[in-house]
Structure 1
Amino acid sequence: MTVTAHDPSPTPPNGTPAAPFGYDDLPALTARMTGADKHTPSSDSLTDALWVLYDQVLRVDPARPDAEDRDRFLLSRGHGPMSYYAVLAAKGFIDPGVLDGFGTFDSPLGHHPDRTLVPGVEISSGSLGHGLPLGVGTALGLRARGLHAPRVWVMVGDAELDEGSNHEALEFAGAYGLDSLHLVVVDNASTTWGDSRSRAERIAAAGWSLAEADGRDHADLRRACALPHPGRPHAVVARVEPKHPR
């Protein structure tokens, strides 16, 4: 099976062909989601990294979101998932029409993504500090099953690295050489402790391959994601404008 993220007009699981959407359509798709609890700055900071992953990196197929040989993408920072939903709609995983009901009682699109309701969503997330440990377990599980082609990508925010569970996961993955595991840290300088440089050095010290990128530059993000890292997990620190300018 050829698994691709580049089909301009994918067919979602309901069989209705999706209109071809591109990056420039994301603001309009996101604007369809209204309501009070949107975490807009958190969502906006993820947009470019999410787009590059789904457009140029991930081996996923909206027609077969549960394909065994798919890459796994785990959005750990699950609060404010509007940009995530917009990208999933643009790529044909969900009908863009469901965006209008975001956060309502009977909508599948909650303020945190639910893996049982949204095609393509691997984990129900939003409780910070869980995504990377789950990514470690996913990588170990795939290895145990002899599935070496699928890659695991986890996206966290810089403030989420305050959680101790992430540091345990970093140490374990580095020590066990989980080279199918990838981490994208979207850094908008919202953390309470440390700074961007110390976070990057901490990841590298745990035995990870590390690349840094402009989180708004698609070519730079693609470069950082594509660097070879044999025998080691790989992390990309993607810096965007600060959430709270100082």
Structure 2
Amino acid sequence: MTERIERVAAAANRIRHHALNMGEVQGQGYVGQALGAADMLAAVYADQLRYRANDPEWEGRDRFLLSTGHYAIGHYAALAEAGIIPVEELESYGSDDSRLPMSGMSTYTPGMEISGGSLGHGLSIAVGIALGLRHRAPSGEGSSARVYNFLSDGELDEGSTWEAAMGAHHHQLGNLTAMVDINALQADGKTDTVLRTEPVTEKWEAFGWYAQRVDGNDVGALLAAFDNAAGQAAAVGRPSVILCDTKVGRGVPLLEEREKAHFMRIEEHEWQLCRKQLTAGSNGKAGR
């Protein structure tokens, strides 16, 4: 387990650096979410997901669906870490004719399974894909591929998310795992002031899911949760959800303390300071 934690933590650190580099291209963006979700993305791509970097459309791949299309900056960083897109291409983020638009588009980016711009649709699509994979193989046993759906806590405001959750339980989609980034922030303010969803673990359990809640910035806790979810995995069974408490801007104290953190505007002179803080933190220093 120690080797796994170290490997995933190192990948998360590189994902954070990639996100800062991309953010500097535009001078702004959803950088805080990428930093906060980096450990979740690293756990998936460095430890869980079956894929072929040189063949993103491989039929046997696990599917990772980014429902939160504005988190694309973090997803691109993870795709670069996985070797699916070149690291050098990250410099084109958000530019004209780039394959890396600011909101994820499946028609543009290798490894991007869905266009996730309209929040609340991702889990519905994931349910359809998981059900389709079950029926794909002629033997009736279905494909062994799994579906991972990344959602935000703000998406739990959407009724379509809960309709999909009911559907997943009804169809016994044991090949589906949802991940919810609970960073307590959305575009209109703090999540609990927009629409309270607590007690969120109990809600998912009431909808028939195997639910776990962990510190989403604790790699060891994330990996243990994925291991537990794997115990539920089956073509027919109980869907799993991992509820991940994260901090916007994680690893960069300057950004962790920003009041308006949903869409960040970062001054030109601050980018290098952000990198220094991130490097210092990864080396066990205070970084302030």
TM superposition score normalised by structure 2: 0.74
What is the rounded CA distance, in whole Å, between the counterparts of 2:166 and 2:13 in structure 1?
39
SS in 1 for 2:166: helix
What is the rounded CA distance, in whole Å, between the counterparts of 1:219 and 1:79 in structure 2?
26
Q: Which amino acid aligns with 1:194?
A: R
Query: Residues 115, 232 of structure 1: CA spacing in aligned structure 2 closer, same or farther, 3 A cutoff?
Result: same
Query: 2:147 aligns to what?
Result: 152
Tell whether 2:243 aligns with 1:237.
Answer: yes
Query: Residues 193, 148 of structure 1: CA spacing in aligned structure 2 closer, same or farther, 3 A cutoff?
Result: same
Task: State, as a whole percentage, how many aligned pairs show the same letter.
Answer: 35
Q: Which amino acid aligns with 2:199?
A: S
Q: 2:124 aligns with which of 128, 133, 155?
A: 133
Unaligned runs of 5+ in 2: 1-6, 186-190, 249-255, 260-288
Tell whether 2:174 aligns with 1:188.
Answer: no
What is the rounded CA distance, in whole Å, between the counterparts of 1:209 and 1:66 in structure 2?
29
Query: 1:219 aligns to what?
Result: 220
Structure that is richer in helix per residue: 2
What is the rounded CA distance, in whole Å, between the counterparts of 2:238 and 2:181 in structure 1?
20
Q: Which amino acid aligns with 1:229?
A: Q
Per-residue CA deviations over 1:47-104 (Å, capped at 9, x if unaligned) read 1100000001111121221111110000101103212111111110101111111111
Structure 1 segment 51-130 matched on structure 2, within 5 A:
51-130=42-121
Query: 1:202 aligns to what?
Result: 203
Query: Residues 22, 185 of structure 1: CA spacing in aligned structure 2 closer, same or farther, 3 A cutoff?
Result: closer
CA RMSD across the alignment: 1.9
Query: 2:275 aligns to what?
Result: none
Aligned length: 225
SS in 1 for 2:220: helix
What is the rounded CA distance, in whole Å, between the counterparts of 1:22 and 1:166 in structure 2?
30
TM superposition score normalised by structure 1: 0.86
Query: 2:274 aligns to what?
Result: none
What is the rounded CA distance, in whole Å, between the counterparts of 1:179 and 1:204 in structure 2?
14
Per-residue CA deviations over 1:114-153 (Å, capped at 9, x if unaligned) read 2122111111112100110000010111112123300000
Larger radius of gyration: 2
Query: 1:167 aligns to what?
Result: 162
Query: 2:279 aligns to what?
Result: none
Paired residues of 2:135 and 2:143 also in contact (CA < 8 A):
no
What is the rounded CA distance, in whole Å, between the counterparts of 1:22 and 1:232 in structure 2?
30
Query: Residues 44, 28 of structure 1: CA spacing in aligned structure 2 closer, same or farther, 3 A cutoff?
Result: closer
Q: Which amino acid aligns with 2:40?
A: A
What is the rounded CA distance, in whole Å, between the counterparts of 1:40 and 1:29 in structure 2?
10
Unaligned runs of 5+ in 1: 1-7, 9-20
- Tell me how far 1:36 sits from its aligned partner: 4.5
What is the rounded CA distance, in whole Å, between the counterparts of 1:22 and 1:238 in structure 2?
18
Paired residues of 1:37 and 1:111 also in contact (CA < 8 A):
no
Per-residue CA deviations over 1:199-229 (Å, capped at 9, x if unaligned) read 2211110101111111011111011112112
What is the rounded CA distance, in whole Å, between the counterparts of 2:216 and 2:71 in structure 1?
18
